[in-house]
Chains A and B, each alone.
Chain A
Amino acid sequence: MNARTLQVTDGANLSWEEAIALAAQPLVDEKIIEPAYIDAMIGVVKEKGPYMNIGPEIVLAHARPDNSVHGIGLSLLKTNSAVNFVDREHPVKLWFVLTAIDSQSHLGVIQQLMTLLTNKEAVKQVLAADSVDQILAILKGLDASL
C-alpha cells in the first residue's frame, strides 16, 4: 500500500456501504477494479452477514474474482470514528479492500497483510493513527512489503 491506496477520514457520517466504497475508490482510480466490484462486495455482506469483520474493528472486504477485477489490489481506509458494520455488534475503523483475479495469486498479499494483523502492537498503532504518513511509517517498520 502507498500514499494513493491509504486514506484516513473522520467517518462519523459514513454508512458501512459508503465506507467500503470510499476504501475501494483508489483501486477504481488506479483501474484495478470497476465500480461494479464495490457493489459485489456490498452484496456479499448483505447476503452473508458481517463475517468479513475478521478481528476487532477490522474488515477485510472482498468479493469473488470476476470481470470487474483487473488485478490484485489492496487498499485501506481508516475511519477515526467507528462505523457500524451491518450492526452495532461490529464497530469498525480499519476498512481493507482486497481484490483477487484467481484463487491463488493474491495469497502472497494476504501473507503480508497477516504480518500486520497478527501484530497486536502494530494494529493498535494503526488504529490510533490519524494521518496517512503515520500509517506508512508503521508499515515501514514491519517486516512486510505492504
Chain B
Amino acid sequence: MKILAVCQSGLGTSFMVQMNIQAVLKAENVDTSDIQVDHSDVGSATPDAADYFFVESTLANTVSSLPKDRVVLLKSLIDKQETKAHVNDILDKEGIQYTAE
C-alpha cells in the first residue's frame, strides 16, 4: 500500500503530513514493510501514483482528477489526532493491524 501526501509545491507542507503519517504508523506498531509513505506536488499526484492521497482541504479542487474515495482532505496539517483518525480508517479498510492508543 502506498500513501502519498500532496501539496501545491511538494516542498514543505506535504512532507509535514508524511512525517505525521509515519509517526502515527510507528506509534501504533504497524508493520510497515508493505506500506510506503511519500510526498509530492499536485502535478505528480496521478491516480496510479498511490493508493491513498492526503491533501490540505483548500486544495481539494486541484486534485479533482483523483478518485474521491482514495483522497483524504485535512483541515489541519499539524493536528496529529486528525491525521491519526484518517490513517486508522485506512488501516481498518485495508485490514491492517494496529495498536490503538
Measured CB to CB, the residues of A under 8 A from B are 44, 48-56, 58, 60, 62-65, 98, 100, 103, 106-107, 110-111, 113-114, 117-118
Chain B contact residues, CB within 8 Å of chain A: 7-13, 15-16, 19-20, 56, 58-59, 62, 76-80
Q: How far is the CB of B13 from chain A (nearest CB, A)?
A: 6
Within 8 Å by CB of B58, from A51, A55, A65, lies: A51
A52: nearest chain-B partner, CB-CB: B13
DSSP majority for the B interface?
Answer: mixed
Cross-interface CB contact of B19 among A65, A106, A111, cutoff 8 Å: A111
Q: What B residues does A110 contact at CB under 8 A?
A: 12, 15-16, 19
> Which of B9, B10, B11, B16 interacts with A54 by CB under 8 Å?
B16
Q: B56 and A54: CB pair below 8 A?
A: yes
Bound CA span A44–B62, Å: 14
